[in-house]
Amino acid sequence: MQFAAFLASTILHLVLIVFSVNYSGISKIKPVDLNREVHMVELVYMAEPQPAPPAPQIPEPAKPEPPRPEPVPEPAEPEVQIPRPDPVPEPEPRPEPKPEPKPEPKPEPKPEPKPEPEPRPEPDPTPAPPEKKEPTAQERLARELAELRSDVERETSTQVPREQAGLQEIYAATAERLIKGNWRYPRIGGTQNLVVRVEVEIDQTGRIVRSRVVRSSGREDFDHSALRAIEDTRQLPEPPTVRIRTLIIDFNLQDLV
The CATH number assigned to the domain holding 142 equals 3.30.1150.10
Does any domain span residue 155? yes
Number of domains present in the structure of the chain: 1
Phi, psi of 254 (to 5 degrees): -65, -20
Question: How far is residue 227's CA from residue 213's CA, in Å, rounded to a whole number?
Answer: 8
DSSP string, 49-64: PPPPPPPPPPPPPPPP
- Assess if residue 244 is contained within a domain: yes
The answer as to whether 33 is a domain residue is no
| Residue 121 counted as domain residue | no
The Cα–Cα gap between 149 and 142 comes to 10
Highest mean pLDDT among 138-152, 156-170, 190-204: 190-204
User: DSSP characters for 85-147?
Assistant: PPPPPPPPPPPPPPPPPPPPPPPPPPPPPPPPPPPPPPPPPPPPPPPPPPPPHHHHHHHHHHH
pLDDT, tens only, 204-251: 999 999 999 999 999 999 999 999 999 999 999 999 888 889 999 999
- Give me the domain span that covers residue 208: 137-255
Residue 201 lies in a domain: yes
Task: Decide if 91 is inside a domain.
Answer: no
- The pLDDT, as a whole number, for residue 176 is 93
**With a threshold of 0.85, does the pTM exceed it?**
no
Determine the average pLDDT of the residues in 79-95. Answer: 68
- 42-63 residue pLDDT tens: 665 565 666 666 666 666 666 6
Q: What is the pLDDT of residues 94-111, one digit of tens each?
A: 767 676 767 676 766 666
CB proximity list for 218: less than 8 A, separation 6 or greater: 194
Over residues 128-151, the pLDDT tens digits come to 555 666 667 567 666 766 665 665
Distance linking the first and last C-alpha atoms of the chain: 141
Please report which confidence band the pLDDT of residue 11 belongs to, taking 50, 70 and 90 as the band edges. Answer: confident
Query: Long-range contact list for 175-178, CB < 8 A, 24+ apart?
Result: 175/141, 175/200, 175/236, 175/237, 175/247, 175/249, 176/247, 176/249, 177/137, 178/137, 178/138, 178/141, 178/233, 178/236
Residue 86 covered by a domain: no
Does residue 73 lie in a domain region? no
